[in-house]
Amino acid sequence: MSRFSLSIAAAVAALLCGVIFVTTFERPPVLSSQGGFRGLSMGDVQNPRTIPARLAANQVPEAPEAAETDGPKAHETYENVQVLRDLSAAQFNRLMIVMTEWIAPNQGCGYCHNVENMASDEVYTKVVARRMLQMTHKINSEWATHVGQTGVTCYTCHRGNAVPTMVWSTEPNSRAGLQAPRGQNHPASSVGESSLPSDPFTPFLLGDAEIRNISTTSLPGRNSQSIMTTEWTYGLMMHISTSLGVNCTHCHNSRSFAEWRTQSPPAQTTAWYGIRMVRDINMSYIEPLKPLWAQNPNGPAEGPHGPRLGAMGDALKVNCATCHQGVNRPLNGAPMLRDFPELKQVNQGPLRSADATPR
Ligand code: HEC
Ligand code: HEC
Ligand code: HEC
Ligand code: HEC
């Protein structure tokens, strides 16, 4: 080979290396912060260039002025009020206005209502919204172990979209045996672009498979964990880290991932409750609403149109990203519940079956 073509080959190789380097490594500087005990290297490493974009993507719209709490109650004023019965009529109307902004800002009231007859339940989204009100109330009242006093509103998940942008559904084959693809060996965004199985959600956030893979015994026959549950565990952990924009050491002392009760910061306990809360959301609320989406697989007539079900015909469900969207406190920690006392007064009783005729 001539000297000339050798040097061209070298130049091409150098160029390729340069491209690979530039596109696969993050350019300095990096910001690191310390958590946990001194000397344990626990904490976060952040890229300061991505912080402004994440902060900007997590702003909260301004709340409308508070409503009068006295005067006639909503269930006295209107015909078919089941869950917001005890609000004043003024509070009720204020909530309808913000719900429209949070869920369907372009469609307006008609997205959930037959505007000729507001009391009718014929538009399925109204029936879904009633259950979502009960779900939001339960998250705030019974999962304070996770959401604290900060709380959540519809906006925490929906952000102006009828279907939240960050949702998941069961992948075909994800429950199959080791030989099946299970989404493995293809980098997937659901698991931080790693080649781990891309659906760790079905076993852990819909089912309650145990998220443990470090054996506490060396005796044979006592370890119920397998390579599959280990891969799912790491897949879920990659999802948790990317959803919150933190490293593994935000929650773990990496000298022993299993020793978390004694060696981890409070964030890990919050995360533990978060996993249980997400299971409750998916199993008690989202999946049971599936028949309504099955009847309206592309959304209501008013739009926006798009799939309401996943590839396996299941509902689109919640994971850590649905609320967190890249930050460790959703919406940068804004106190969501403070401006919406209406969301604290939701009747949890059974709902009347949906039909077009109001009471
Ligand atoms: C995201 C869905 C949704 C949107 C958007 C929405 N509503 Fe509602 N609306 C509901 C639900 C759910 C109920 C029933 C509440 C209950 O049972 O406690 C309801 C009930 C009502 C009622 C009571 C009707 C009756 O007589 O029983 C009125 C009035 C009303 N909404 C007005 C509005 C107005 C005005 C808008 C637009 C500014 C609007 N709604 C937007 C979900 C929605
Ligand atoms: C924890 C996250 C979460 C919260 C909080 C939440 N939702 Fe939802 N909501 C979802 C998910 C996920 C779906 C999509 C399910 C599907 O399409 O299969 C959904 C769907 C809906 C739909 C149906 C949309 C359509 O076009 O089919 C309505 C209406 C709705 N939510 C209203 C509300 C209201 C009103 C609130 C607040 C009271 C609320 N949601 C709070 C997660 C949430
Ligand atoms: C936001 C907190 C948080 C982050 C970040 C996090 N984890 Fe976890 N991790 C947990 C919790 C909580 C559990 C226990 C889950 C349970 O029991 O339900 C756990 C469990 C584990 C386990 C199982 C340990 C055992 O007992 O067998 C491993 C391994 C693990 N994590 C590795 C990782 C890795 C690797 C990363 C980074 C890619 C990571 N974690 C990021 C919270 C976190
Ligand atoms: C329904 C919305 C919602 C979902 C879904 C959700 N979180 Fe959270 N999370 C919150 C809110 C709100 C806070 C802030 C609580 C506070 O300010 O006290 C929070 C706080 C946290 C914190 C504490 C922040 C810190 O750095 O100390 C951790 C850790 C966390 N969440 C992990 C998770 C994990 C892991 C998942 C998925 C299994 C998850 N969250 C799913 C709403 C949610």
pLDDT tens digits, 51-69: 888 888 888 999 999 999 9
Give the pLDDT band (50/70/90) at residue 223.
low
Ligand nearest to the CA of 205: 4
pLDDT digits (tens, 9 = 90+) for 136-174: 999 999 999 999 999 999 999 999 999 999 999 998 865
User: Taking a C-beta distance cutoff of 8 angstroms, is the pair 119, 77 a contact?
Assistant: no
Pocket test for ligand 2, best of 99, 152, 154 (most atoms within 8 A of CB): 154
Q: 16-33 burial, b for 16+ CB within 10 Å, e for fewer?
A: eeeeeeeeeeeeeeeeee
Q: Using a 6 Å cutoff on CB, does residue 249 contact ligand 3?
A: no
Q: How far is CA 193 from the centre of its chain?
A: 18
Q: How far apart are the CA of 134 and the centre of ligand 2, in A?
A: 11
Q: What gap in Å lies between CA 359 and CA 357, rounded to an integer?
A: 7
**Dmax of the chain from CA atoms?**
93
pLDDT at 315: 97
pLDDT at 308: 97
Q: How far apart are the CA of 89 and the centre of ligand 1, in A?
A: 12
Ligand nearest to the CA of 277: 4
Instruction: Tell me whether the omega of the peptide bond preceding residue 187 falls within 30 degrees of 0, making it cis.
Output: no
Pocket test for ligand 4, best of 270, 276, 279, 318 (most atoms within 8 A of CB): 270
What is the amino acid identity at position 54?
Answer: R
Ligand 2 atom with the shortest distance to the CA of 322: 2
Q: Using a 6 Å cutoff on CB, does residue 81 contact ligand 3?
A: no
Q: How far apart are the CA of 5 and the centre of ligand 1, in A?
A: 74
Q: What gap in Å lies between CA 136 and CA 259, rounded to an integer?
A: 33
CA 132 to each of CA 43, 128, 147, 313: distance values in angstroms, whole numbers, following the listed order: 36, 6, 17, 20
Which of these ranges, 43-52, 116-125, 238-247, has the smallest mean pLDDT?
43-52
Q: Using a 6 Å cutoff on CB, does residue 267 contact ligand 3?
A: yes
Q: Which of 39, 284, 244 lies closest to 138 in space, CA to CA?
A: 284
Q: Which of 86, 87, 109 lies closest to 99 in space, CA to CA?
A: 109
Question: How many beta carbons lie within 10 A of that of residue 282, not counting itself?
Answer: 22
Q: How far apart are the CA of 244 and the centre of ligand 3, in A?
A: 13
Residues 6 or more apart in contact with residue 252 via CB below 8 angstroms: 42, 260, 264, 268
Q: Is 227 exposed, middle or buried (0-12, 13-18, 19+ CB in 10 A)?
A: exposed
Alpha carbon nearest to ligand 2 atom 23, residue: 125
pLDDT at 122 over 70: yes
pLDDT at 328: 95
Which residue is listed with tokens 């109330």? Answer: 137
Ligand nearest to the CA of 246: 3
Q: What gap in Å lies between CA 6 and CA 16, rounded to an integer?
A: 15
Q: Which residue has the higher pLDDT, 180 or 6?
A: 6
Q: What gap in Å lies between CA 89 and CA 67, rounded to an integer?
A: 9
Q: What gap in Å lies between CA 194 and CA 234, rounded to an integer?
A: 10
pLDDT at 208: 85
Which residue is listed with tokens 């590839």? Answer: 311
Percent of the chain with pLDDT over 70: 90
Alpha carbon nearest to ligand 4 atom 41, residue: 320
Q: How far apart are the CA of 132 and the centre of ligand 2, in A?
A: 6
Q: How far is CA 250 from the centre of its chain?
A: 19
